[in-house]
Amino acid sequence: MDAFFASAEQASKPSLRGKAVVVGGLGPRGVVATASYEARVFGVHSAMPMAQARRLAPNAAYLVPRFAFYRAISEQVMGLLRALSPLVEPLSLDEAFVDLEAGGAAGDEESARLVGVRLRGDIRAVTGLTGSVGLAASKMLAKIGSEQAKPDGLVVIEPGTERAMLGPLPVRTLPGVGPATGDHLRRAGITTVEEIAGAGEDELVRLLGKAHGHGLYAMALARDERPVVAEREAKSVSVEDTYDVDIHDRTRVGLEVQRLADRCVRRLRGAGLSGRTIVLKVRRYDFSTLTRSETLRGPTDDPAVVREAAARLLDSVDTTGGVRLLGVGVSGLADYTQEDLFAQAAEEQVDAGSVEEAEDAIEAEPEAPVERRWPSGHDVRHVRYGHGWVQGSGLGRVTVRFETPDSDPGRVRTFRTDDPDLEVAEPLPLVPGSLAQA
């Protein structure tokens, strides 16, 4: 999908169409998740600190992501893909590989192109959004093709033309070459894909190590045999929070770790999983990041066990100077629990006095509750004015623009944040009747 989050917001909010839209964390430490193509003109792009984006595009619309909404759209698109083939490998909410051969949907180049054209039409009809398609003989080439096709296009990389097409491209085009590897290669005088091929396999392995070297050399020669794999099993479950202000108080750090452990276990249990290895992640005031892990004798999904392990791990970490991020994860997953009876009994004890209570005893960060209740971009309904979305809030006021996906751009009105006529609403379908509402 093209600029997925931003496009979904523009489709949902007529007044934002054709305008610079930036979706991401709005806090002081937020980063850009997606920028609309109009915003990219100003140099705004994914992973950029929000503060920098605001300097570059001060007049853009800034919205928090609405994952439930995007997920609903994503499921519609994945449904279309699964109609083409049972072999669909989602990479994220807005991207997937499809093995057309396995689906019998396409045998030759022309039939494949036809499938791609039809798919793009279906995506538009069902979601109202544009998606781009890359058709090629391997995952790597299909991915590169789809990048070249964006926005709103289709690219076929014909067999036999792969090497010539890849040759002049920058090394960063290849999957697995990020900033660090890119720098590494550049220092060795390698800037294009054909120069990777020219350097030879031994040289690459010497430069980048065994796995990466062999892999990259193969990619540069357009050799990629990786199969499309549907239903890959999760290998870890984790949660993490970056705090608006560094936490210095060791007691508070401990409490946050307990909260994260509970959240992590909730996700773990929700997925019907348990795990053996508990991981604590700490990012300090200076952005240095360290992890500590502990492996239990058997898998657990017991909140008390995970909390205690996380607390032990925290004991071995120096947090003087403050922490900006904390995280708790579980890996070594199994889909069954093999917990001994002592732990089960201990759980019932500890659960009685949960962390949430203790947490309330500590004074909360002084943050405006209105920001929580009326997050920018979220849908609302007013008794008199109907459906709209929060354009901004603060100082006891909330500003709402009243419009729907199929209306003209709407008008703005401002209310008190405690106005009883105003309530939170579910997103409306982008195409009438197409979005199953929760």
Partner DNA sequence: TCTGGGGTCCTATGTCAA
Partner DNA sequence: TCTGTTGACATAGGACCC
Q: Point out the residues that are catalytic.
A: 95
Rounded Cα–Cα distance for residues 375 and 32 (Å): 16
Peptide bond into 151 cis (omega under 30): yes
In the complex with DNA, the residue whose CB is nearer, 177 or 193, is 177
Determine if 47 is a binding residue for DNA (CB under 7 A): yes
Give the 3-state secondary structure percentages of the chain, helix then strand then coil, rounded to 5.
40, 25, 35
The distance of closest approach from Cβ of residue 238 to DNA in the complex, given in angstroms and rounded to an integer, is: 4
- State the nearest-atom distance from the C-beta of 267 to DNA, in Å: 6
| Non-local CB neighbours of 342 within 8 Å, separated by 6+ positions | none
Binding mask 287-326 for DNA (x = CB under 7 A): x-xxxxxxx--------------------x-------xx-
> Can residue 414 be called a binding residue for DNA (CB under 7 A)?
no
Given 148, 242, 344, 407, the residue binding DNA (CB under 7 A): 242
**Smaller CB separation from DNA, 216 or 422:** 216
**Residue 324 corresponds to which amino acid?**
R
Q: Taking the complex as a whole, how short is the minimal distance between the CB of residue 214 and DNA, in angstroms?
A: 8
Pick the closer one to DNA by CB: 46 or 407: 46
Single out the residue of 14, 153, 182, 386 in contact with DNA (rule: CB under 7 A).
182
Q: Is 237 in the site for DNA (CB under 7 A)?
A: yes
Among 8, 16, 33, 77, binds DNA (CB under 7 A): 33
Question: Which tokens go with 383?
Answer: 């008794």
192 scored as a contact of DNA (CB under 7 A): no
The residues, any chain, with a CB within 8 Å of residue 302's CB and separated by 6 or more, are 265, 337, 339, 343, 344, 346, 347
Q: Could you say whether residue 276 binds DNA (CB under 7 A)?
A: yes
Minimum distance from residue 406 beta carbon to DNA (Å): 28
Q: Does 234 bind DNA (CB under 7 A)?
A: yes
- Interaction mask 111-150, DNA, x per CB under 7 A: --------------------------------x-------
Task: Kindly state whether residue 82 participates in binding DNA, applying the rule CB under 7 A.
Answer: no
Q: Strands across the sheet with 274-284, in order?
A: 236-247, 323-334, 274-284, 289-300
> In the complex with DNA, which residue's Cβ is closer, 214 or 397?
214
Q: Which residue number, 203 or 241, has a Cβ lying nearer to DNA? A: 241
One character per residue 148-177, x = contact with DNA (rule: CB under 7 A): ---------------------------xxx
- Does 269 bind DNA (CB under 7 A)? Our answer is no
Is the Cβ–Cβ distance between 274 and 336 less than 8 Å?
Answer: yes
Residue 1: CA count within 13 A, CB half-sphere: 30
What is the C-alpha to C-alpha distance for residues 107 and 353, in angstroms, rounded to an integer?
62
Q: What's the closest the beta carbon of residue 363 comes to DNA, in angstroms?
A: 21
3-state SS, 126-191, equals HHCCCCCEEECCCHHHHHHHHHHHCCCCEEECCCCCHHHHHCCCEHHHCCCCCHHHHHHHHHCCCC
Whether the CA torsion 229, 232, 238, 243 is positive or negative: it is positive
**The one among 19, 40, 45, 54 contacting DNA by CB under 7 A:** 54
Distance between alpha carbon 205 and the CA centroid of its chain, in Å? 31
Per CB under 7 A, does 275 bind DNA? Answer: no
Dihedral, 139, 144, 149, 152 alpha carbons, nearest 10: 60
CA distance 24 to 34: 7
**Do the Cβ atoms of 129 and 73 come closer than 8 Å?**
yes
Q: Please identify, using beta-carbon distances, which residue of 23 and 84 lies nearer to DNA.
A: 23
Instruction: Decide: 382 and 398 in contact? Cβ < 8 Å.
Output: no
User: Judged by CB, which is closer to DNA: 294, or 371?
Assistant: 294
Rounded to a whole number of angstroms, the minimum distance from the CB of residue 422 to DNA is 26
Binding to DNA in span 193-222, by CB under 7 A:
209-212
Binding site for DNA (CB under 7 A): 25, 28-31, 33, 46-47, 49, 51-52, 54, 91-95, 143, 175-182, 209-212, 234-242, 267, 276-277, 287, 289-295, 316, 324-325, 327, 329, 331-332
